[in-house]
Homo-oligomer: A and B are copies of this chain.
Amino acid sequence: VVSDVPILGPGREFDAIRALVAAWGTAAQGIGDDAAALDVPPGERLVVSTDTSVENVHFRREWLTPAEIGWRATMAALSDLAAMGARPLGVLSAITVPVSWQGALGDIGDGIGEAVNAANTKIIGGDLSAGGELSITVTVLGSASHALTRSDARPGDSLYVSGALGGPALALRSWLAGEAPNAAARQRFAMPHARLAFGCGLSALGCTSAIDVSDGLIADARHLAAASNVMITIDLDAIPRFPGASAADAASSGEEYELLVTAPSLTLRDFTCIGTVGAPGEKPGVIVMSGGARVEFAGGYDHFSP
């Protein structure tokens, strides 16, 4: 689509942008101005989030193909729309490309384009910069007639999670041990799928709050509990596990991009009840139970830990 190829003056930076947009084809739309202009459906609110993926922080070069890096960064950002019950309107990708990655930029772009197509949305803008480390900041725009937040879980609700957890943790453990992960676990880390199809319907199904599992199920449940001022009790043994994952793996594995939701009751394929919401005691938080007894649980990823 010629009109979607950005009309820019000369220069190698602009050549790189032109090449990306040409490869994206119909996955890109209206790129080439100072900003993108788009319409939010009447009666809906705009929902927007931004998410950064940095080499050696969120992934290592030897773990993933360039296309997987682009896909994963995009899906990680889209997952925040799913957690808000929003439909995507468009994606902006700001890519910082070191010299050693310039040859891989086309493949990274392909991965971004494939993720955007899979989410049935468009790339509407971005930025391309030089830099010392590969970094992709994806901003996602969506809309919802009723945005699901973290703060409306109610005592008496149950807690549900989508999918089976622990795959990314298994893949990470293998890589960090210098081994190749098994293909299925690797796929869960490399090519996550934002739960957009579920997200848009959750509000209509009576869900009261939602968050996506990015820091780890228990860590994210703590965010829900804090935001909703409730005590959440989770049955460790009820968490669906990815084949080969332990209960602790499933409870702490990050970057799952599954959805953790509260509802008075929810019957939906792929969602499992794993806990209950009660009134807060002294302070809101998460109680983890296993075999009928309370267990201590530490875990989840913290970017600023030593």
Query: A-side interface residues toward B, CB under 8 Å?
Result: 7-16, 32-40, 42, 45-52, 54, 56-58, 80-81, 83-84, 86, 90, 92, 94, 96, 102, 124-133, 135, 137, 139-142, 144, 147, 149-151, 210-212, 215, 219-220, 222-223, 225-227, 300, 302-305
Check B34 against A48 for contact (C-beta < 8 Å).
Answer: no
Check A133 against B133 for contact (C-beta < 8 Å).
Answer: yes
Task: Provide the residues of chain B in CB contact with A150, threshold 8 Å.
Answer: 7, 32-34
CB distance from A223 to the nearest CB of B (A): 5
* 10 interchain residue pairs of minimum CB distance: A9-B222, A35-B49, A12-B304, A137-B137, A34-B83, A37-B147, A34-B80, A7-B227, A11-B302, A13-B303
Task: Provide the residues of chain B in CB contact with A226, threshold 8 Å.
Answer: 7-9
Check A38 against B45 for contact (C-beta < 8 Å).
Answer: yes
Task: Provide the residues of chain B in CB contact with A16, threshold 8 Å.
Answer: 304
CB distance from A221 to the nearest CB of B (A): 8
Q: A33-B149, A131-B135 given as contacts; is B50 within 8 A of A46 (CB)?
A: no
CB distance from A114 to the nearest CB of B (A): 20
Task: Provide the residues of chain B in CB contact with A36, threshold 8 Å.
Answer: 47-49
